[in-house]
Every structure is written in structure tokens, then in C-alpha cells.
């Protein structure tokens, strides 16, 4: 049932900064509980709107290679990814389908050394509750015979999958609006947390009982406005999408050493990404695609799946990934109790609805559905 929409947006129960997957799902969760919600978003296609729709669960080799110091924190968070994908499956059923497919994710190896690495990784992930196996080439051919002859085996994580983020984002935003949440496109320039309320300036002044900061890489700057330091970093990455082909890639595909994600939508189009760098100037509205990343990314994809080599790339784009210390950041700012932070860890789109749901529960004074103690922003003191 649609809530009555307030015509005065200057005061609300919960004000959310950030209109991506975390912010929108925070809005849905809070509005379903009866709160008056305003979402303020800068309107930049930075993270959610640039996402390619992977549902990650296993540790990504890209992160292990580039940020080994974060591996322990990401590994400790793996059970959270299981909960996050389970929530996506529930939402897919609830909202009529996001083209979600959960046939598992393959992390392929091109050498015996890479396969031994995957065997070691799989043992550790299985201890944390993931359903993983290591397949030799004969086993792999039974489920993914499209892989090139250079592939000697792979790790499969059965909880992994993929969805169409264009459909998911549209349907979730529609649900937020249906519940009465209001969206304002503006840049926040001030957050002043007082004892009885929070004042937020974004073109005009807003007052609210609670603020949820769900602005990904920009959350650090917003927290500093509220008087607290939070170390967030942006990482510009780029992706590509091909023309449609016959549907054959049922899995999410990654590599044991090299940066790649490969997935096929039900439309037949294939999204090629996986951490190739883009170029970003903070003074520019969006990141820019790098030619060398485009060429390297699609060449690697064609090497792994030879059948797609002749497909045309129709579009490429860039977005901003967010990093802190490898773990999500969920909870109230110490000493600024009316401000709640909601930043998902690595693979932020996968974790987005779960983190947004938890942030809304905290803002409403309720107990989140999982223990958020390990993710509190107080750890950065």
C-alpha cells in the first residue's frame, strides 16, 4: 500500500544520503516500517548505476593480488556474502524477477600452480560455510565446455550468480517511491549533528531525526562534515557489453590470477569486466574509459571463451568502486549517534540490500538481522 506523501521535505524521520543500492534499500526498509524518508543523491552514475550485476561470494583473486593486506578482513566477512545472496534471491521472487541466475561462479586456472592456489583457497572458504569444489578439465567440460583449451580446471562456488542490475535498480526504486520515499537530486554540503536532530544542507536545509550515510566512496567526506574521520577511497574501473549471442554462459566466470568477470544476460549480451582500471578526475562528473584497459579486458575474455571472439562490443563505461579496510562499515558514528554509516565491503552491489536493511534497522532503533559489531565505524579510531 502506498504511503501518503508529505509535501514538506524539509523535515523527515530518516534522511539518506546516497541513492544507490544501499540507500534505496535503506529507504525501502525504513518506509516499510512507517518512517518518513527522504533520499538525497548527487545524481552521478558512479557505483550502482555503473554496476555489471555480479553476485560475488568467493574471494576474488583480483583483491587478493592488489590488496593482500585486506584479505583477512574480506575472508572473515564471507558468511555475510552468503546472507546477501540469499536476500537477493528473496527479492528476485518478491519483485517479479531481476533475471537472477544462481548456477554458481567459476574461477578458472590456466596452470597447475593456479589450480593449487584455488585448492588452498577453496579449503579455507569451505570452513567458512561456502559450497565450493575444485574441478579438473574433464569435470569442467561437463558444465562449461565453452571454455578455451588453455583452461586446466576451475574452482566452483555454487552460491554465486548474476542478475540484470538495470532491472533490479528500476524495480527497487519503484518500490521505494511506492512506499512514499522522496528523492532529491542535490549535493550535500553540510551535515550538522545536534543533540535533538541533524541538520543537512543540500541546496536547501533539511532537519531529520536520523541520517544514513550510504554514499559509497564519498561517505568519508560526508562523515568528516559530521565531525568524524572515515577512510574511504575511490577506485575507477570499467566494463564492456557485447551484442547478443546465443545463451550459453550459465556461470559467473573469473580467473585465478588475472582481472576478469564474464557473464551473460538472458538477452544474450555478455558483460566483460573484472577490475580493469579507468581514469578519474574528481573535478569531472564521471570516470573515463581507458583504451588499453578496453583492449586488454576483451582480449582476455576472448582467450577464456573463444566462441565470443567475433562479437562486437556495443558499449563500454566506467564507474567507481569503494574500498576501506576490506570489511563493510555499518553502524552509528561514535559521539554522533544520530548518524548511521552504511558502506558495503568488497563486491558492494552484492552486499548492498543486506547492508541497507541493517542500516535502516539501526536508524529505527531496532536490532539488525545479523551482528554488526565487527563492522562498526568505531574500529577506525
The domain locations on the chain are 11-48+166-232+326-380, 102-161+233-323
Q: pLDDT tens, 82-111?
A: 999 999 999 999 998 999 999 999 999 999
What is the predicted pLDDT for the residue at 8? Answer: 67
Reported as a single tens digit per residue, the pLDDT across 322-364 is 988 889 999 999 888 899 999 998 889 999 999 999 999 999 9
CB atoms within 10 A of CB 188: 24
Helical axes 348-363 vs 21-32, angle rounded to 10°: 30
Homologous superfamily of 11-48+166-232+326-380: FAD/NAD(P)-binding domain (3.50.50.60)
Closest CA to 234 of 278, 295, 189, 169: 278
Q: Which residue has the higher pLDDT, 138 or 7?
A: 138
102-161+233-323 CATH, one of 3.40.440.10, 3.30.9.10, 3.30.365.10, 3.40.50.300: 3.30.9.10
Per DSSP, 380 falls in state G
Confidence label for 60 from pLDDT (cuts 50, 70 and 90) = confident
- Confidence (pLDDT) at 215: 95
- Distance set, CA 173 to CA 69, 176, 179, 210, 305 (Å): 36, 5, 10, 21, 35
Q: Which residues lie below 8 Å from residue 292, measured CB to CB, with a gap of 6+?
A: none
Residue range 177-205: average pLDDT?
Answer: 94
Instruction: Number of helices (H) and strands (E) in the chain: give both, helices first.
Output: 10, 18
* DSSP-assigned states of every residue in 214-266: --GGGHHHHHHHTT-----EEEEEEEEEE----S---SEEEESSS--EEEE-T
Q: With 70 as the cut, is the pLDDT of residue 43 above it? A: yes
Cell numbers describing residue 354: 543486506
What's the rounded Cα separation, in Å, for the pair 292 and 306? 20
Give, rounded to a whole angstrom, the gap between the first and last alpha carbons of the chain: 43
Q: In the prediction, which pLDDT does 18 show?
A: 96
Per-residue pLDDT at 3: 47
Contact 201, 190 (CB under 8 A): yes
Average pLDDT on 56-67 reads 79
Rg of the chain (C-alpha set)? 21
How many alpha carbons lie under 13 Å from residue 5 in its C-beta half-sphere? 11
CB atoms within 10 A of CB 369: 12
- In the DSSP assignment, the letter for residue 131 is -
The structure's pTM equals 0.93
- pLDDT exceeds cutoff 70 at 119: yes
Amino acid at each position: 500500500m502506498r504511503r501518503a506523501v508529505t509535501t514538506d521535505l524539509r523535515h523527515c524521520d530518516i534522511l539518506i544520503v546516497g541513492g544507490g543500492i544501499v540507500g534505496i534499500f535503506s529507504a525501502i526498509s525504513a518506509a516499510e516500517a512507517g518512517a518518513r524518508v527522504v533520499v538525497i543523491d548527487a545524481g552521478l552514475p558512479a557505483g550502482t548505476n555503473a554496476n555489471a550485476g555480479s553476485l560475488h561470494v568467493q574471494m576474488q583473486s583480483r583483491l587478493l593480488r592488489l590488496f593482500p593486506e585486506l584479505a583477512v578482513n574480506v575472508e572473515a566477512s564471507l558468511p555475510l556474502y552468503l546472507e546477501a545472496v540469499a536476500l537477493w534471491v528473496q527479492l528476485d521472487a518478491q519483485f517479479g524477477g531481476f533475471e537472477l541466475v544462481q548456477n554458481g561462479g567459476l574461477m578458472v586456472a590456466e596452470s597447475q600452480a593456479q589450480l593449487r592456489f584455488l585448492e588452498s583457497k577453496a579449503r579455507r572458504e569451505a570452513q567458512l560455510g561456502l559450497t565450493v569444489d575444485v574441478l579438473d578439465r574433464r569435470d569442467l567440460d561437463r558444465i562449461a565446455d565453452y571454455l578455451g583449451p588453455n583452461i586446466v580446471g576451475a574452482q566452483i562456488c555454487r552460491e554465486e550468480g548474476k542478475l540484470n542490475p538495470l532491472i533490479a535498480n528500476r524495480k527497487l526504486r519503484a518500490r521505494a517511491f511506492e512506499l512514499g520515499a522522496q528523492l532529491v537530486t542535490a549535493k550535500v554540503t553540510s551535515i550538522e549533528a545536534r543533540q535533538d536532530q541533524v541538520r543537512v544542507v543540500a541546496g536547501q536545509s533539511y532537519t531529520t531525526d536520523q541520517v544514513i550515510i550510504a554514499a559509497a566512496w564519498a561517505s568519508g567526506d560526508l562523515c568528516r562534515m559530521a565531525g568524524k574521520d572515515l577512510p574511504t577511497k575511490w577506485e575507477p574501473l570499467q566494463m564492456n557489453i557485447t551484442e547478443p549471442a546465443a545463451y550459453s554462459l550459465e556461470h559467473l566466470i573469473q580467473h585465478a590470477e588475472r582481472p576478469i568477470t564474464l557473464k551473460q544476460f538472458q538477452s544474450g549480451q555478455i558483460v566483460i569486466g573484472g577490475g580493469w582500471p579507468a581514469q578519474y578526475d574528481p573535478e569531472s562528473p564521471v570516470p573515463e574509459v581507458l583504451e588499453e584497459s578496453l583492449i586488454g579486458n576483451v582480449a582476455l575474455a576472448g582467450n577464456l571463451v573463444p566462441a565470443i571472439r567475433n562479437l562486437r562490443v556495443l558499449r563500454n563505461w566506467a564507474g567507481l568502486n569503494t574500498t576501506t579496510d576490506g570489511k563493510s562499515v555499518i553502524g552509528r558514528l561514535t559521539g554522533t549517534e544520530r548518524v548511521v554509516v552504511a558502506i558495503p565491503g568488497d563486491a558492494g552491489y552484492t552486499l548492498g540490500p543486506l547492508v541497507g536493511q541493517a542500516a535502516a534497522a539501526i536508524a529505527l532503533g531496532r536490532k539488525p538481522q545479523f551482528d554488526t559489531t565487527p563492522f562498526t565505524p568505531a574500529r577506525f579510531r
